[in-house]
Amino acid sequence: VRFFKNLYKRFGFIILLFFLMSGFFNPSIAVFALICMMGPILLSLFKGRFWCGHLCPRGNFFDNVTSVFSNKKRVPWILRNIFVRALVCMGLLYYFINSLIKHWGNLQSVGMIFYKMIALTTIIGILLSVIFSERAWCHFCPMGSISAFVSLFRRGIYPLRVLPICIDCKLCAKVCPLSIKPYKYKGKDLIHPDCISCGNCMGICPKKAVMRRGN
């Protein structure tokens, strides 16, 4: 199982590339994007944004491909702002539902709606990677935002805890792809709804103050 987990972690983005190529020639294939739209939301009730950090092919693409040429700059607050996130969510959902109603019954046209959405948002994600950091898009991705909201009602334990031995060096905040400041949770569970459980903060902490509790 560990072998396949590592394999996916390294090469999961091939699913995105396959999707973009095959959907270009046959848009009906693009309806499979529904899995990537519903998956993160359903899982978030139990594991927060785990999907974003471990299963999303586009997130994997950002981690493995765009990270190579990313600017590694902190994502500006405006892109993390709750109102901007809500606006992006509502705008894309409005476009999506409206287009679905118009083209309902025609698989090729419905597939093309999915395809356009994924292709366009991937291009935006790549551009933001270059300007800011590789996971900049994930700060306001509609599915990520909805998952973060749903995860406020999650059941079960939180996977990470920041121990009181934290010395406030703030290195953890520097490596967090979602601009979270783990040290702010000193002595508590890391309950930030945007945490994708990537473990970067654990790896960098010189005191081993970020502890995985399992989930």
Q: How far apart are CA 209 and CA 26, in angstroms?
A: 49
Q: Which CB, 30 or 190, lies closer to ligand SF4?
A: 190
Q: Which CB, 10 or 102, lies closer to ligand SF4?
A: 10
Outline where 71-151 has alpha helix (H).
Answer: 77-80, 82-103, 107-131, 142-150
Using CB under 6 A as the binding rule, whether residue 145 contacts ligand SF4 is answered as no
Residues 66, 67, 68, 74, Cα dihedral to 10°:
120
Site residues for ligand SF4, 22-61, by CB under 6 A, read: none
Site residues for ligand SF4, 3-22, by CB under 6 A, read: none
Q: How far apart are CA 186 and CA 8, in angstroms?
A: 32
Q: Which CB, 90 or 152, lies closer to ligand SF4?
A: 152
Minimum distance from residue 199 beta carbon to ligand SF4 (Å): 5
Contact 129, 69 (CB under 8 A): yes
Q: Which CB, 17 or 82, lies closer to ligand SF4?
A: 82
Q: Structure tokens of 67?
A: 């990270």
> In whole angstroms, how large is the CA radius of gyration of the chain?
18
Local structure of 74: helix, strand or coil: coil
Identified binder of ligand SF4 from the candidate list 107, 168, 188, 189, rule CB under 6 A: 168
Identified binder of ligand SF4 from the candidate list 35, 207, 211, 214, rule CB under 6 A: 207
Using CB under 6 A as the binding rule, whether residue 171 contacts ligand SF4 is answered as yes
Look-up: residue for tokens 């999915």? 114
Q: Which residues bind ligand SF4 (CB under 6 A)?
A: 160, 162, 166-172, 175-178, 180, 182-183, 190, 195-201, 204-205, 207, 209-210
